[in-house]
Amino acid sequence: MKLADAIYKRRSVRTYTQQQVQREEVLALIDAAVQAPSAMNQQAWAFAVIQDRHVLMSWSERIRRDLLAHSDHFKMSDEVKAMIAEPGFCVFYDAGTLILIGTRFPERTQLAEVDASCAAQNLMLAAYDRDIATCPIGFAVPWLNQPSVKMEIGLPSDYRVVLPVIAGYQRAPQPPVVRRPAEILMWQR
């Protein structure tokens, strides 16, 4: 596959089959993630993987309730609020795999979260190359970063989730998502 294909054709996928992503595939995605650039080569990223559908369903319900309780704080549009309020809405779209991409090492670099974001993009492009569908799930970030939640689910207290990404096999092709032309504010020559 040409890299340009992955860059231009990767989509955030929101409908998944029941097929689970194999452990080796997940490890390959994480290996691609850590090939990303990082500030001062500090590689300040760390990952966690959840492949238990029951756990994901129960987290989704708790995230949904947390988002609805704080919808003003999270600046959600009425449309998004209505979608989340829909009973049975799964913030993980019934995907079987959730990969948390985050950082534990804020002391190493002030740009640790940027490192994690670069890793996330690598992971999603590598997934596309392997016919694995993904979608970043920003909705889950505030809940996952609550100290009590991190303790409950076994994440270190100094871990900061930057971007959770679901992964699985898509049910149907995704339509293109049009981009606005890039705003180039300045070009000095």
Ligand X SMILES: Cc1cc2nc3c(=O)[nH]c(=O)nc-3n(C[C@H](O)[C@H](O)[C@H](O)COP(=O)(O)O)c2cc1C
Point out which residues bind ligand X (CB under 6 A).
Answer: 11-12, 14, 135-139, 163, 177
Nearer to ligand X, 136 or 168 (CB): 136
Nearer to ligand X, 157 or 173 (CB): 173
Nearer to ligand X, 143 or 159 (CB): 143
Nearer to ligand X, 135 or 161 (CB): 135
Q: Which residue has the tokens 């409950």?
A: 152
Nearer to ligand X, 22 or 96 (CB): 96
Helix (H, G, I), strand (E, B) or coil at 98: strand
Q: Please name the helix (run of DSSP H) or strand (run of DSSP E) that holds residue 125, with its range, or none.
A: helix 112-129
Report in angstroms how near the CB of residue 101 gets to ligand X at its nearest.
11
Question: d(Cα 154, Cα 85) in Å, to the nearest integer?
Answer: 28
Report in angstroms how near the CB of residue 93 gets to ligand X at its nearest.
7
Nearer to ligand X, 138 or 156 (CB): 138
Report in angstroms how near the CB of residue 139 gets to ligand X at its nearest.
4
Question: d(Cα 133, Cα 70) in Å, to the nearest integer?
Answer: 30
Q: Tell me which residue has its CB nearest to ligand X.
A: 138
Report in angstroms how near the CB of residue 121 gets to ligand X at its nearest.
9
Q: Please name the helix (run of DSSP H) or strand (run of DSSP E) that holds residue 26, with its range, or none.
A: helix 23-33
Strands (E), the chain: 46-50, 97-103, 133-136, 160-168
Residue 99: C-alpha distances to residues 1, 12, 31, 73, 168 (Å):
24, 15, 13, 25, 11
Report in angstroms how near the CB of residue 18 gets to ligand X at its nearest.
19
* Residues in the chain, total: 189
Report in angstroms how near the CB of residue 11 gets to ligand X at its nearest.
4
Question: d(Cα 42, Cα 101) in Å, to the nearest integer?
Answer: 15
